[in-house]
Chains A and B, each alone.
Chain A
Amino acid sequence: MPKTIQTHANHKLLYKSPKGLNEDLIKKISEEKQEPEWMTEYRLKAFKLFTRIPMPTFGPSLSNLNLDNIHYYIKPQDRIKTRWEDVPQDIKDTFERLGVPEAERKFLAGTGAQFESEMVYHSIKKELAEKGVIFESIEQGLKNHPDLFKEYFGKIVPASDNKFAALNSAVWSGGSFIYIPKNVKLDLPLQAYFRMNTENLGQFERTLIIADEGADLHYMEGCTAPVYSTESLHAAVVEIVAKNNARIQYSTIQNWSENIYNLVTKRAFAYSNSEVVWLDCNIGSYMTMKYPAIYLLRDGAKGEVHSLAISSKDQQQDTGARIIHGADNTRSNIISKTIALDEGISTYRGIIKANKNIKNAKSKVKCDTLLLSPDAISNTYPQIKSNSRDFTIEHEASVSKINEEQLFYMKSRGLDEDEAASQIVNGFADPIVKRLPMEYALELNRLMEMEMEGSIA
């Protein structure tokens, strides 16, 4: 059972919806955001789908998730009214030890006022605007770029995709809208970080990224600090379009507090010779179900999913990847690294599909698990559905424990047992971590060390 976190909500909330979901509430959300009619209708249609689509029939049990006991809309300025004193001590301790600046801590804990990087963000935004880049909140995106928005919104992940995509489509709030014009290449990662003070850390955020032909973008979402939320459900949707010759890397580090069900739908459409990389690191939450998908739609498209999941205590990380090879000469590469400690359950769940008559398609899947306690569990469910005769797939899977000989070797050089084990674990995660921007990689390593302290059996 997820831990219940007691909070004392500030009673001056401007607007916090009653628990549960109905059509009136959805109309109210849409009205509040002054949306065009089509969006209101879209939300209502999605709500109908949500009520009809059953819970997922695979994966960990969601029977303890009470969907009637959730606030589906909290205006962002209200969401940040949790009192700092009420944030659990272990989360405060983690901030302290990660060296998260004071202002950020308050924001991440949901108590912050204005985040101080506002100024930084504005100067970056100006630079981006000169290149024609659009980097706005999803609400601004709808308002300021209605045609572009409508062309893609809900086209990659339709509301009917699954129950939680339907839910998100009905109640979405917050998230990013990004458009990179033709042949514009951004050298530095765009970081959701700079937009924290708007509403990036919502429960039902929605992100839409369009990279036009030849564009290049690395989008960085999340951070290593634990994100504390009083609401127990996070159901986000991320839609990505990589047009011909574009390249997008979408990196995520998520460390939700231990009461959260993190049920996210992420999908990308990849066109000719484009490349999409999902880099997904999941550390916290009570339960995560997330399988970033790439549809390789045109000749020569390439997709990669690199994921790292750490499950400790009684957490379940049910993660993986879904790739559809829908055209000739398409390539996919999946590397999944899972670490399970305490009584954690780590599962890789992947689907690789090759459509009929496609030629010269190749896929490579590598799943490695490191079990750090006798009670930890790891599962691997790779599914391959090929209708093509010209599709090759390599699948490799390994489950290992920390090896006694490795420990002896490192100890013989002067490291104590904990430090040796921690270096071995960091080494295990390194193929994923090294793809992150340096500062995130360092933070992530530090966080893994903390997760592991005293956990190694």
Chain B
Amino acid sequence: MPTLEIKNLKASVEDKDILKGINLKINSGEIHAIMGQNGSGKSTLCNTLMGSPRFKIQEGIISLDNEELNNLSPDKRAKKGLFLAFQNPIEIPGVHLPTFLRSVVSEVHGRIDPEKFIEELEKNIDELNLKKDLLHRDLNDGLSGGEKKQSELLQMAMLRPKFAIIDEIDSGLDIDALKIVAEGIKSIAKKHNTGIVLITHYQRILNYIHPDFVHIINKGKIIKSGDKKLAEDLEQNGYIKYLKDA
């Protein structure tokens, strides 16, 4: 069974140590929620896992199916089956979303017939209740916050990753938009047995996606792990209780 494993991961950005020894093991089909306050290291974890050049690994190992990813570029990690849904997907003007998607799906899964690709794309938009309009849009350019999240979801559905890291996808979404996105993540994960690392500040999204595991991250370390009850407790009592314990 595919496994994404993070062992004693320490990482820095611009010479500032952020991650101070993260340990996590995610199996296919599992949903792990990682919860933390601003500045706890959530986004650094996402970007380091995907291989952003801004973040430097100081120590530790990221591996997928026992193969170390530490020195692989982001595109090679993508080809191994890793995916990151960005919190703030950057605009790339003039790059047509479907054209881009076809090129990346071809890179990751081999050449795909253009007609079959469009068929697949329309099917996914339909199944995930996404805006059909995405077919005519550029890559994040001119998209609203909600549309950007839908575009991330569509890309994830088309790329069928083994593991998806989802960075605060709930931020800035109203309740209806949140439902669509949450249902979408669940349906993709179920269809492809994707392992999910769901990063969030708030418990809200977990009302729709029930995690198998919940981890609290603070100051670059996981200070508490548990099941869904941990998230509920967090919602009622706030982070403060756990930060004291740590």
Contact of B92 (CB < 8 Å), options: A411, A416, A417, A427? A427
Task: Please tell me if the beta carbons of A414 and B94 are within 8 angstroms of each other in the complex.
Answer: no
CB interface residues, B 56-98, toward A, < 8 Å? 73-75, 77-79, 83-84, 86, 89-90, 92-96
A89 on the interface (CB 8 Å rule)?
no
Max chain B C-beta neighbours (<10 A), residue from A404, A408, A415: A408
A428 on the interface (CB 8 Å rule)?
yes
CB interface residues, B 8-63, toward A, < 8 Å? 50-54
A410 on the interface (CB 8 Å rule)?
yes
Task: List residues of chain B with CB within 8 A of the CB of A417.
Answer: 73, 75
Task: List residues of chain A with CB within 8 A of the CB of B104.
Answer: 410, 413-415
**Quick one: given A423-B100, A427-B95, are A416 and B75 in contact (CB under 8 Å)?**
yes
Interface of B is mostly: mixed
Task: Please tell me if the beta carbons of B90 and A415 are within 8 angstroms of each other in the complex.
Answer: no
Task: Please tell me if the beta carbons of B90 and A405 are within 8 angstroms of each other in the complex.
Answer: yes
**Quick one: given A404-B54, A414-B107, A414-B159, are A409 and B92 in contact (CB under 8 Å)?**
yes
**Quick one: given A419-B103, A430-B94, are A414 and B53 in contact (CB under 8 Å)?**
no
Task: Please tell me if the beta carbons of B74 and A412 are within 8 angstroms of each other in the complex.
Answer: yes
Question: In the bound complex, how far is the Cα of B95 from the Cα of A429, in angstroms?
Answer: 10
Task: List residues of chain A with CB within 8 A of the CB of B139.
Answer: 427
Question: In the bound complex, how far is the Cα of B83 from the Cα of A420, in angstroms?
Answer: 16
Question: In the bound complex, how far is the Cα of B100 from the Cα of A430, in angstroms?
Answer: 13
**Quick one: given A408-B53, A423-B100, are A415 and B95 in contact (CB under 8 Å)?**
no
Contact of A427 (CB < 8 Å), options: B79, B90, B94? B94
Question: In the bound complex, how far is the Cα of B77 from the Cα of A177, in angstroms?
Answer: 58
Contact of B95 (CB < 8 Å), options: A412, A414, A426? A426
A403 on the interface (CB 8 Å rule)?
yes
**Category for how many chain A residues contact B:** 20 to 34
Task: List residues of chain B with CB within 8 A of the CB of A431.
Answer: 94
A117 on the interface (CB 8 Å rule)?
no
Task: List residues of chain B with CB within 8 A of the CB of A424.
Answer: 92, 95
Task: Please tell me if the beta carbons of B93 and A414 are within 8 angstroms of each other in the complex.
Answer: no
Question: In the bound complex, how far is the Cα of B76 from the Cα of A415, in angstroms?
Answer: 9
Task: Please tell me if the beta carbons of B94 and A410 are within 8 angstroms of each other in the complex.
Answer: no
B138 on the interface (CB 8 Å rule)?
yes
**Category for how many chain B residues contact A:** 20 to 34
Question: In the bound complex, how far is the Cα of B96 from the Cα of A426, in angstroms?
Answer: 10
**Quick one: given A404-B53, A415-B104, A427-B138, are A409 and B89 in contact (CB under 8 Å)?**
yes
Contact of A413 (CB < 8 Å), options: B51, B52, B94, B159? B159
Nearest CB in chain A: distance from B153 CB, A: 13
A34 on the interface (CB 8 Å rule)?
no
Contact of B84 (CB < 8 Å), options: A404, A412, A416, A427? A412
Contact of B74 (CB < 8 Å), options: A403, A411, A419? A411
Task: Please tell me if the beta carbons of A408 and B92 are within 8 angstroms of each other in the complex.
Answer: no
Task: Please tell me if the beta carbons of B75 and A411 are within 8 angstroms of each other in the complex.
Answer: yes
Task: Please tell me if the beta carbons of A409 and B86 are within 8 angstroms of each other in the complex.
Answer: yes
B155 on the interface (CB 8 Å rule)?
yes
Task: Please tell me if the beta carbons of B50 and A412 are within 8 angstroms of each other in the complex.
Answer: yes
A406 on the interface (CB 8 Å rule)?
yes
Nearest CB in chain A: distance from B59 CB, A: 22
Task: Please tell me if the beta carbons of B107 and A408 are within 8 angstroms of each other in the complex.
Answer: no
Contact of B103 (CB < 8 Å), options: A403, A412, A415, A427? A415
Question: In the bound complex, how far is the Cα of B99 from the Cα of A423, in angstroms?
Answer: 10
Interface string of A110-147 (1 = CB under 8 A from B): 00000000000000000000000000000000000000
Nearest CB in chain A: distance from B199 CB, A: 15
Nearest B residue to A413, CB-CB: B104
Question: In the bound complex, how far is the Cα of B90 from the Cα of A416, in angstroms?
Answer: 17
Task: List residues of chain B with CB within 8 A of the CB of A427.
Answer: 92-95, 138-139
Task: List residues of chain A with CB within 8 A of the CB of B89.
Answer: 409
Nearest A residue to B89, CB-CB: A409
Task: Please tell me if the beta carbons of A415 and B107 are within 8 angstroms of each other in the complex.
Answer: yes
Task: List residues of chain A with CB within 8 A of the CB of B50.
Answer: 408, 412
Residues of chain B having any CB pair with chain A under 8 Å = 50-54, 73-75, 77-79, 83-84, 86, 89-90, 92-96, 100, 103-104, 107-108, 138-139, 155, 159
Known interface pairs A409-B86, A413-B108, A414-B78; 12 further A-B residue pairs with C-beta atoms within 8 A, sorted by A's residue number: A404-B53, A408-B53, A410-B92, A412-B77, A412-B84, A415-B103, A415-B107, A416-B75, A417-B73, A419-B107, A423-B92, A430-B96
Complex A-B, nearest 6 residue pairs according to Cβ-Cβ distance, in ascending order: A427-B94, A430-B94, A427-B95, A414-B78, A411-B74, A414-B107
A-B contact pairs, 13 of them (CB 8 A): A403-B90, A408-B53, A409-B89, A410-B92, A410-B104, A412-B77, A414-B75, A416-B73, A419-B107, A423-B92, A426-B94, A427-B92, A429-B94
Residues of chain A having any CB pair with chain B under 8 Å = 403-406, 408-417, 419-420, 423-424, 426-431
